[in-house]
C-alpha cells in the first residue's frame, strides 16, 4: 500500500531524515515510535508532500507520489490526523466534516458512520470547533480525515492530551479501520498502547530507522523494548 524508500528530507539546510524507509501493507496497522526530534512528524510530512524529500521515493497504492502536491496525494486516499488537529475553529463540526469529504477508490464514510464510531460526535456537528475540548476536536479531526475516503490514515500522536476514555476510542477506531481494510501509520508517544493495536513497529532515532519488527516482539521482549523505547 505505502512504500517509503530511502528518503532524505531537509528543513532548509538542516537534514531531518537520513535514508528512511518503511512499508505499510493493506489493512495493516504500523506503529512509528521514537524519541522527541527523531523525525516521526517529518516522515508523515514527507509522505503527504508537505516536506517533500530531496532524495528517495514514495509510492502509494502502486503510484509514485514523490514530489506530488499535497492536495493530489490526499485525493489518492491518504488521510491525515495532524498532531495539532488543525480543524477550522470558526466552523461547525459538520462543516469541518463536509470540507474533508472526497471520493476515492476506497471505502467512503458518511457523517452517520462517524456518529456510530464516535457516539459523542452527534452533539458536535452543530457546534463551532473553537469551543470544543481537545478530545472533541480529535473526534472531529479523525472524522474529517475519514470523510476523505482514505485507504491509509496517518495519525500523529492521536492520544496526546486526551482523557483515557477518548484514547480508548481512538485506538478502537484504528482497529475498526483495519477491519474495513484501511491501513494506519500510527505515530505515538504512548508506545505500549500503540503496540497493542499495531501489527508491526518501526523505531526511529535521529532521522533513521533503528529497529523494525512485529509489535508482539516488542511487547514481549522487555529488554529489547527498554533499549529501543525506554519503557
Ligand X SMILES: Nc1ncnc2c1ncn2[C@@H]1O[C@H](COP(=O)(O)OP(=O)(O)OP(=O)(O)O)[C@@H](O)[C@H]1O
Residues forming the site for ligand X (CB under 6 A) = 11, 14, 16, 34, 36-42
Tell me the closest approach of the beta carbon of residue 37 to ligand X, in angstroms. Answer: 4
Task: Give the residue with the Cβ less far from Mg ion, 83 or 111.
Answer: 83
Helix (H, G, I), strand (E, B) or coil at 45: helix
Question: Residue 52 to residues 9, 134, 223, 224: CA-CA distances in angstroms?
Answer: 7, 29, 36, 33
Does position 41 interact with Mg ion (CB under 5 A)? The reply is: yes
CB of 20: closest distance to Mg ion in angstroms?
Answer: 14
Nearest to 50 by CA among 82, 92, 5: 82
User: Is residue 79 classed as helix, strand or coil in its secondary structure?
Assistant: strand
Which of the listed partners (ligand X, Mg ion, none) does 131 bind, with a CB threshold of 5 to 8 Å by partner kind?
Answer: none
Q: 11 contacts which partner out of Mg ion, ligand X, none, CB within 5 to 8 A by kind? A: ligand X
The beta strand positions in the chain, using DSSP E, are 2-11, 14-24, 29-33, 55-60, 63-64, 78-81, 152-156, 183-187, 200-205, 208-214
When the beta carbons of 39 and 100 are compared against Mg ion, the nearer one is: 39
**Largest CA-CA distance found in the chain, in angstroms, rounded:** 49
Residue 122 or 208 having the CB closest to ligand X: 208
42 binding partner (options ligand X, Mg ion, none; Cβ < 5 to 8 Å by kind): ligand X
CB of 19 to ligand X, least distance (A): 15
Q: Which is nearer to ligand X, 15 or 104 (CB)?
A: 15
Q: For Mg ion, which is the closer residue by CB, 40 or 200?
A: 40
- In the complex, the smallest distance separating the C-beta of residue 22 from ligand X, rounded to whole angstroms, is 14
Sheet holding 14-24, edge to edge: 14-24, 2-11, 55-60, 63-64
List interacting residues with Mg ion (CB under 5 A).
Answer: 40-41
Amino acid at each position: 500500500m505505502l512504500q517509503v524508500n530511502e528518503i532524505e528530507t531537509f528543513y532548509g539546510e538542516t537534514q531531518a531524515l537520513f535514508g528512511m524507509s518503511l512499508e505499510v501493507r493493506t489493512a495493516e496497522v504500523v506503529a512509528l515510535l521514537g524519541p522527541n526530534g527523531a523525525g516521526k512528524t517529518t516522515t508523515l510530512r514527507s509522505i503527504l508532500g508537505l516536506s517533500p524529500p530531496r532524495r528517495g521515493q514514495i509510492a502509494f497504492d502502486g503510484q509514485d507520489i514523490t514530489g506530488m502536491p499535497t492536495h493530489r496525494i490526499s485525493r489518492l486516499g491518504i488521510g491525515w490526523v495532524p498532531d495539532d488537529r488543525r480543524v477550522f475553529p470558526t466552523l461547525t463540526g459538520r462543516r469541518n466534516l463536509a470540507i474533508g469529504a472526497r471520493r476515492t477508490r476506497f471505502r467512503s464514510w458518511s457523517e452517520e458512520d462517524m456518529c456510530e464510531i464516535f457516539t459523542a460526535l452527534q452533539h458536535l456537528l452543530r457546534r463551532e470547533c473553537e469551543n470544543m475540548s481537545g478530545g472533541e476536536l480529535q473526534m472531529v479531526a479523525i472524522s474529517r480525515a475519514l470523510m476523505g475516503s482514505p485507504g491509509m490514515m496517518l495519525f500523529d500522536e492521536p492520544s496526546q492530551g486526551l482523557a483515557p476514555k477518548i484514547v480508548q476510542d481512538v485506538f478502537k477506531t484504528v482497529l475498526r479501520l483495519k477491519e474495513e481494510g484501511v491501513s494506519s501509520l500510527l505515530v505515538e508517544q504512548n508506545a505500549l498502547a500503540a503496540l497493542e493495536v499495531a501489527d508491526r513497529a518501526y523505531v526511529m532515532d535521529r532521522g533513521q530507522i533503528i529497529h523494525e519488527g512485529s509489535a508482539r516482539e516488542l511487547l514481549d521482549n522487555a529488554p529489547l523494548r527498554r533499549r529501543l523505547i525506554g519503557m
